[in-house]
Structure 1
Amino acid sequence: MPDRRKFLKRAGYTTLSALLTMGFLQKDKQKEDHSTNTLAANYTSTNGNSPLRQLAAAKGKRYGAAIDGEFLQIEKDYANLLARECSIVTPNGELKWNATEPQPGKFTFESADAIANFCQKHNMELHGHTLFWYTGNPPWVPYPPTLQMIERHLTGVMGHYRNSPVLKSWDVANEIIADNENETDNATYGLRKGVKPELIRDLFKIAASVDSSKKFCINEFGIEGATWKSDRFLKMVEYLKNSGVKIDEAGIQSHLWFSTAYAFDEKGFNSVLKRLNDLGVKPRISELDIIIDTPLPDSIKKLDQMVADSYKRYLDLCFAADVDTVITWGITDRHTWIRHPDWMPAKFKNNPSMQPFLRPLPLDTNLQPKLARNAIAQAFQ
């Protein structure tokens, strides 16, 4: 499972007002909530027999999910589901620094290669996640790493997959923007403390020197609106473009919280998508899942409808801006990180009666399609 403890401290363990200032949510009581305000949409019988990968491909798009190598090996039904539904997958943790270079210069790829082999067998693409992150590192790697460490790591990992028939893209830089202005020493770009824009520039240059045949992505969370964080993220993307480095895509994670109590900042999100397109950096939805925040509905049926409505309306905005890749962070509630006891949001963890309402993914724990799955299908169509 991915190391999301710090993310949950930012999202689930903080107050609602803190979430609002971070850009996960945009509160506006005067606006209609276009994510959760109606049960009118019908997702009960939409192409249930057509794989999402097939529906997406018919429109020139791709659907995929985060994949867990451990469960891939021991749960045949889970493996079959991924093979049926996905044309692209992102490994949960198998390509992070602590998995691929646990000791300096000592590389291990057994777990990641097993996923790559699965992808090749089932005609799926593998997205490399991730080469540079503030966590998910072995204890001997500081943050930020030295350029010497970065060069050795990228040479080893990217070199191993240089000729891979399935790995076509990399998250070169992941979550480099601070959560707010108090957590950065760079007011212009908002980078995490200790990280200089020149280091990120050189990171991308080193990646291109190792293997320029892959698409390079910068991946970030909390930028789904007009916020301090999204503004700094866009400035950083512009800096990289102006520096002449190879940067092809921007991953918008979209770990989303919706509620009838506040509206989503559609205008702000549209501005983020437009700016990325204007810069020639294609947006992709890289880690999508949806939580319904309090006040919760009075039934799971209504909850599932709210989640489905949120998926459909969010993806409609994405596809209107020429997004062609959507990756959910998991495919089944059986293996969602948000249900893990270490990372479950505090308001749910402290109230067991609320926990059944954590249903963020397209299929339920029994691998049965929910309304969210059909809503995604409708959005692709």
Structure 2
Amino acid sequence: MPDRRKFLTRAGYTTLSALLTMGFLQKDKQKEDYSINTIAANSTRMNVNSPLREVAAAKGKRYGAAISGEFLQTDKDYANLIARECSIATPNGELKWNATEPQPGKFTFESADAIANFCQKHNIELHGHTLFWHTGNPDWVSYPPTFEMIERHVKGVMGHYRNSKVLKSWDIANEIIADNENETDNATYGLRKGVKPELIRDLFKIAASVDSSKKFYLNDFGIEGATWKSDRFLKMVEYLKNNGAKIDGAGIQSHLWFSTAYPFDEKGFNSVLKRLNDLEVKPIITELDIIIDTPLPDSIKKLDQMVADSYKRYLDLCFAANVDTVITWGLTDRHTWIRHPDWMPAKFRGNPSNQRFLRPLPFDENLQPKSARNAISQAFQQAT
């Protein structure tokens, strides 16, 4: 798993006090401050338990999560929580190539349709993920796929959802930028070996020919700062814009590692967001979760607060830069991918006692809200 080093926010709170020269004015001012603070406190109490979808909607934004069709069927409480909290959702894997076209030209949508039906029932918008990815393909698909493979797949999958009332957007391509310069044969765009920029351009054009009514995104991780990868990602976005591709937005995955041992490149991240806005390619957060890297705190309570502080600071940066959609990669620690043995970070996999500190999502394994959920709510409430 790539090293996604990010920042840890140390929460600071500042108290402001006014110095008034006349005693009776000071008393009146104190009464006024008390009234204002009481209203604010009551408002906070009213909103603290409001569904995140409602808190986000009040600011013209959307909150959602990646969801599992399996758990929607087998875990009723999980399904109810998704319905309560989310206004947008991304299928975990039900729309990937191996799920939708397991054999050449033979399509199946049973699992994805079950998620789409759930979303329609609960007024949740569906974000399609994904048409092109180097992982999650059936064995018969080469990487990169041939043009003919791509054309048949895109027409089959997007055609099935062309008239969907709930599926409104697609990650057309996912993780096409190499992790570093040693894994590419294209220095300009940093594409994974074998992938040509013209193929990605044609992929977007095929998608638009099937259904141009949906929003199209290029999605990737490791671009939350001024890095080799984010530079290539931005160049690829610009290439698509300049070569006739319909690209409406950029998906910033945001699988984040925070630590007291290293800082977050806030300036670099702001530059990425600004460049996307300048290109008129809307940035959205598509796969957000946060873990704390070593050194770890000495209690779960402290860990949860560190995660919450990190959510708040990161989302504050996002909302200041025109981000209107935040999707966490899951809703509850009960089902987080980070705890899966195949994906767990090596330093945690080899140290079982530290695995309890993998608490990346807004709700805990018992589906109870954590301080991270409250931090996300607060960030939405304070967004302008």
**Under a length normalisation based on structure 1, what TM-score does the superposition of the two structures give?**
0.91
Correspondence 1:25 to 2:5: yes
Alpha-carbon deviations, 1:325-352, whole Å to 9, x = none? Answer: 0000000000000001121111111111
Q: Residues 283, 46 of structure 1: CA spacing in aligned structure 2 closer, same or farther, 3 A cutoff? A: farther
Distance of 2:11 and 2:56 partners within structure 1:
26
CA distance, structure 2, for counterparts of residue 53 and residue 350 of structure 1:
37
Match of residue 16 from structure 1: none
- Paired residue secondary structure (1:170): strand
CA contact (8 A) 1:348 1:355 kept: yes
> Cα 1:168–1:137, aligned 2, differ >3 Å: closer, same or farther?
same
Confirm or deny that 1:70 pairs with 2:70: yes
Contact 1:130-1:173 at 8 Å conserved across structures: yes
User: What SS does the aligned partner of 2:277 have?
Assistant: helix
Q: Which runs of 5+ in 2 are unaligned?
A: 15-40
- Alignment map for 1:51-70 (pairs within 5 Å): 51-70=51-70
Is residue 17 of structure 2 the alignment partner of residue 37 of structure 1? Answer: no
- Which SS does the other structure have where 1:65 is aligned? strand
Alignment pair present for 1:193 and 2:193: yes
The whole-number CA distance in structure 2 between the counterparts of 1:364 and 1:325 is: 22
Task: Number of aligned residue pairs: give it.
Answer: 353
In the alignment, the residues of structure 2 paired with residue 45 and residue 39 of structure 1 have an alpha-carbon distance, to the nearest angstrom, of 21
Structure 1 portions without partners, runs of 5+: 1-7, 11-18, 27-32
- Shift, 1:40, TM fit: 5.4
1:245 is displaced (CA, Å) by 1.0
Which whole-Å CA distance do the structure 2 matches of 1:316 and 1:36 have between them? 12
Q: CA deviation at 1:46?
A: 7.6
In the alignment, the residues of structure 2 paired with residue 147 and residue 322 of structure 1 have an alpha-carbon distance, to the nearest angstrom, of 35
Residue of structure 2 in register with 1:122 after alignment? 122
Structure 2 counterpart of 1:72, one-letter code: L
How far the C-alpha of 1:149 sits from its partner, in A, is 0.5
- The answer for the alignment partner of 1:238 in structure 2 is 238
Residues 228-307 of structure 1 aligned to structure 2 (within 5 Å): 228-307=228-307
Residue 337 (structure 1) aligned with residue 337 (structure 2)? yes
Partner AA of 2:10 in structure 1: N
What's the CA shift for 1:229? 0.3
* Structure 1: distance between partners of 2:46 and 2:265: 28
Amino acid at match of 1:137: N
Higher RCO, Cα 8 Å, sep 6+: 1
Q: How does 1:76-225 map to 2 (within 5 A)?
A: 76-225=76-225
The residue that corresponds to 1:316 in the other structure is 316
Closer/same/farther in 2, CA of residues 361 and 40 from structure 1, 3 Å limit = farther
What is the CA–CA distance in structure 1 between the aligned matches of 2:297 and 2:45, rounded to whole Å?
23
The percent of aligned pairs where both chains have the same amino acid is 85
Q: CA deviation at 1:36?
A: 3.1
CA distance in 2, matches of 1:25, 1:347: 14
4+ aligned runs moved over 3 Å, structure 1? 38-41, 43-46
Are 2:364 and 2:370, in contact at CA under 8 Å, matched by a contact in 1? Answer: yes
Displacement of 1:39 in angstroms is: 7.0
Question: d(CA) in 1 for partners of 2:176 and 2:353?
Answer: 36
User: CA separation in 1, counterparts of 2:293 and 2:13?
Assistant: 20
* Deviation of 1:72 (Å): 0.4
Q: What amino acid is aligned across from residue 205 of structure 2 in structure 1? A: K
Q: Within 2, Cα distance between the matches of 1:38 and 1:149?
A: 50
Alpha-carbon distance, 1:322 to partner: 0.7
How far apart, in 2, do the equivalents of 1:243 and 1:67 lie? 34
Q: Decide which structure has the larger Cα Rg and report it.
A: 2
Using the TM superposition, give the Cα deviation of residue 52 of structure 1 relative to its aligned residue in structure 2, in angstroms.
0.2
Decide whether the 8 Å contact of 1:39 with 1:305 is kept in 2: no
Match of 2:30 in 1: none
CA RMSD between the two structures:
1.4
Amino acid at match of 1:286: T
> What letter corresponds to residue 25 of structure 1 in structure 2?
R
| Cα drift, residue 45 of structure 1 | 6.1
Query: Is the Cα contact below 8 Å between 2:169 and 2:214 reproduced in 1?
Result: yes
SS of residue paired to 1:296: coil
**What code does the residue aligned with 1:196 have?**
K
Paired residue secondary structure (2:373): helix
Letter in 2 for 1:191: L
Q: Which amino acid aligns with 2:5?
A: L
1:273-305: per-residue Cα shift (whole Å, max 9, x none)?
Answer: 000000010000000000100000010000000
C-alpha deviations, 1:208-227, integer Å up to 9, x for none?
Answer: 00110100000000000000
Which letter does structure 1 place at the counterpart of 2:197?
P
Aligned AA (2:132): F
Mean Cα displacement is larger for which, 94-103 or 339-348?
Answer: 339-348
Please say if residues 46 and 378 of structure 1, whose CA atoms lie closer than 8 Å, have aligned partners that are also in contact: no
